[in-house]
Structure formats: structure tokens, C-alpha cells
Amino acid sequence: MASFTLTTETAQRVKTKVLRKYRDLAKENLAFVPGHEDELVNQLTQLLKRDARYVEFTINKALADPAGNRL
């Protein structure tokens, strides 16, 4: 189970930050349905070739300062 919860608004901000950091990803790679955070983590785990803990850490970092540009 993911250690975060995303709304449509926060998901958009996280998507923007992740796309800035990982420029080889496309918007289509980050499709999000509210309540399906685990699917997003699994998808990013495969795309980034990182473990789930890293992906969750990255998303939590993006959520820590939603208005900022840093990830």
C-alpha cells in the first residue's frame, strides 16, 4: 500500500515535477486514477527501473512542497 494519497490536483503537480526530473517519460506514462496510488508506484517502478521505496520517496518529496518546483 502506498504511503501517500493523491487528489486530482496534487497528482497533476506530482506529474509535472516527475516529468521535469525524468524528461524521457511522457505524460501518458503518468496516467493517474484517484485511489490507485499503488498502480502509479508500480508503473513508475518499471519505467524508472527503481524500487518502490525510491518512487514513494520521490512522490512524498514532491508532495512536501506542492507549490515549489523542486523534486
CB contact at 8 A, 18 and 30: yes
pLDDT, tens digit, 9 for 90 and up, residues 34-60: 888 999 999 999 999 999 999 999 999
Distance between CA 18 and CA 57 in Å, rounded?
Answer: 12
Q: To which residue does cell 486530482 refer?
A: 8
Q: To which residue does cell 524528461 refer?
A: 23
pLDDT, tens digit, 9 for 90 and up, residues 10-38: 888 888 999 999 999 988 888 888 888 99
Greater confidence, 69 or 10? 10
Q: How confident is the model at residue 9 (pLDDT cuts 50, 70, 90)?
A: confident
